Amino acid sequence: DGGITQSPKYLFRKEGQNVTLSCEQNLNHDAMYWYRQDPGQGLRLIYYSQIVNDFQKGDIAEGYSVSREKKESFPLTVTSAQKNPTAFYLCATFDSGANYGYTFGSGTRLTVV
């Protein structure tokens, strides 16, 4: 089945640790995105990538980093510089072709302990 796989579903991080969230897609979409969702805040854009080896900061990029070495993969690292990382993280891809629109993964819930 074509789709987006995010892992893990739940992640616990200790203060001061870096953690990496995985996002893999087999939809052959060029553009990929990371969003953060907090209660009452809707979705906010962290980073996006429109092509391999290129990515851009979104509205709330501080404390996060990404890479795009392969078309299928867009991992997000939450660094220790992110002071309030507890949130629900969603990865998405965008199809600019015949099936125009966004597809979302199932998300990763990150909790700082």
Name the site residues for another protein (rule: CB under 8 A).
30-31, 33, 35, 40-45, 48, 50, 56, 58, 90, 94, 96, 100-107
How would DSSP label each residue in 51-86? ETTEEEE-TT-TTEEE--SBTTB--EEE-TT-S---
To another protein, the closest distance from the beta carbon of 5 in angstroms equals 11
CA distance 113 to 110: 10
Quick one: 17 or 62, whose CB is closer to another protein?
A: 62
Minimal CA–CA distance to 26: which of 55, 1, 9, 51? 1
Q: Decide whether 22 or 80 has the Cβ nearer to another protein.
A: 22
Judged by beta carbon, residue 15 or residue 54, the one nearer another protein is 54
